[in-house]
Structure 1
């Protein structure tokens, strides 16, 4: 069996898919299987995939389209490697990605899930996410701080916990999964650029932004509920202003309203210690001060 199973779902990405696949096939680490699942593409992606002859590639073709969550779960069920690696059909992995992430996971058996830094263009500025587990867990209350197509996951954990992506959280299934896993496993983000994350008008975060925002709000509310909090529409808007760095320190009413909300959440977290109190306070402070991590 291969050490790693790379799951790469495809849906109407003919312009980018071969570049994404090539970035996996030229990895310096070669002991992997690449599970390509075309989910009913209508733009020629399936034909491009059908021409690939590398023996490490497993090709699955859907008709009709089943949706990303079903496709991802199919990939999880098929994966035979010790590690599951995620990859999207419009991104590019660096040639040493598998070597770096597998080496890290081998040397850190307590870590079940690992992401990495990434850039949005070749030669662009590297974007770093929180590195340690408690930092990641805290920032997940604010937004998704693990880049989904840059993750490597221990397959034994997937089977031990019976993990599947949840279709009830459309276009934010990864954000929901990381929050669900955070109390049960240890996570990390490597401060190394291992992925070029392509931004274009056809990507999910642009085409389905409104649905994604509503889903993210539901996920955050689930986390607030663990602290005994049910946010009103006004309180949700305050949280959005905070996490989007939109609190205006020169607007007295806005600033006081934000501080009141923060103190309310911190008081509840003392009663129901879901998050590290110091890290939660720091995250709120950085957002209000407009200092990204």
Structure 2
């Protein structure tokens, strides 16, 4: 087979998710759209992943690649480099798809003969560690030129995404110098040049509650900081975005750094909240954090009065009303 004979390459990156891997692969095999290949890239798992994948290798559409533990960007890139499809769909090993996902996404791509659309994603449903549904809302899907709202708050579930292969050839693959929020970096680079579209259905089941993210919070916010400033200063983001949106995003990121440091480190905590206010002097999130911190009660009372001055009037209309949290997948 060569690239022209396959429509979709499904890249499943896994690291010690053997307990979920069969469910992920089965959800691909159940797709109504059957013109695909599956590349499972094992990032040096030490669990039962190797045993789980063996029965599936009798299917010629499924390939298994095993690397030493190199981290998620190199693992995902290995899958992309091995792929032969005109589209690349990503599925993390702990998530699942509904049967019509690939069919509906390919349909949207094929309706775009000018190739202006670089990414098609879908809504997601939530499941717990055991696969039971969780009643939780999804982020607001957006289509077209999504650069501004995407920069402000990422809203794409990684396992719901499908990318035109030619777009990856143009903008590059995942950045291998950072370990977290690698999808945020890639989506920003694509959004500089291409439009996004979505299927307005929860075609991806996103598993939550089985991993401890708090221990990685500090590393994660620093990765996000690197991505933000590189996008603004190296990729030309400042020329494309409203300065007010940039200030708001930087202020919220500073709050994220402060919260990652925790009130147990008051000087660091206070310093980052001060930086947030340096970007936006009336940033409500920073004032609210200060008002509920370790200040004397008299100072808290004054700050609580100030926090009521909402910044809604100068908030960009395109912003998505959810806290800024980057994917770690």
Q: TM-score range by the shorter chain?
A: 0.7 to 0.9
2:143 to 132, 135, 152: 132
SS of residue in 2 equivalent to 1:133: coil
2:197 to 188, 193, 201: 188
SS of residue in 2 equivalent to 1:216: helix
> Equivalent residue for 2:218?
210
Kindly tell me: are residues 85 and 207 of structure 1, through their superposed partners in 2, closer, same or farther at Cα, counting changes over 3 Å? Answer: farther
1:253 is the counterpart of 2:264: no
Q: CA deviation at 1:125?
A: 4.4
The residue correspondences of 1:10-29 to structure 2 (distance < 5 A) are: 10-29=14-33
1:282 is the counterpart of 2:317: yes
Maintained 8 Å contact 1:131/1:190: no
User: Counterparts of 1:284 and 1:3 in 2: how far apart (Å)?
Assistant: 34
Q: CA deviation at 1:57?
A: 0.2
The residue correspondences of 1:59-208 to structure 2 (distance < 5 A) are: 59-62=64-67, 64-108=68-112, 109-121=115-127, 122=133, 124-125=135-136, 127-134=138-145, 136-159=146-169, 161-202=170-211, 205=213, 208=216
Q: Size of the alignment, in residue pairs? A: 266
Maintained 8 Å contact 2:141/2:198: yes
Maintained 8 Å contact 1:244/1:287: no
1:58 to 47, 58, 63: 63
Maintained 8 Å contact 1:112/1:153: yes
SS of residue in 1 equivalent to 2:19: coil
Which has the larger Rg? 2
User: Counterparts of 2:94 and 2:284 in 1: how far apart (Å)?
Assistant: 26
Kindly tell me: are residues 201 and 139 of structure 1, through their superposed partners in 2, closer, same or farther at Cα, counting changes over 3 Å? Answer: same
Q: CA deviation at 1:4?
A: 0.4
Maintained 8 Å contact 2:33/2:102: yes
- The Cα offsets for residues 142-182 of structure 1, whole Å up to 9 and x where unpaired, read as 222111111001112222x1511102232111011111221
Q: TM-score, normalised by structure 2?
A: 0.71
User: Counterparts of 2:18 and 2:65 in 1: how far apart (Å)?
Assistant: 16
Aligned alpha-carbon RMSD (Å): 3.3
SS of residue in 2 equivalent to 1:164: coil
SS of residue in 2 equivalent to 1:190: strand
User: Counterparts of 1:247 and 1:23 in 2: how far apart (Å)?
Assistant: 46
- The Cα offsets for residues 75-105 of structure 1, whole Å up to 9 and x where unpaired, read as 1111111110000100010011111111111
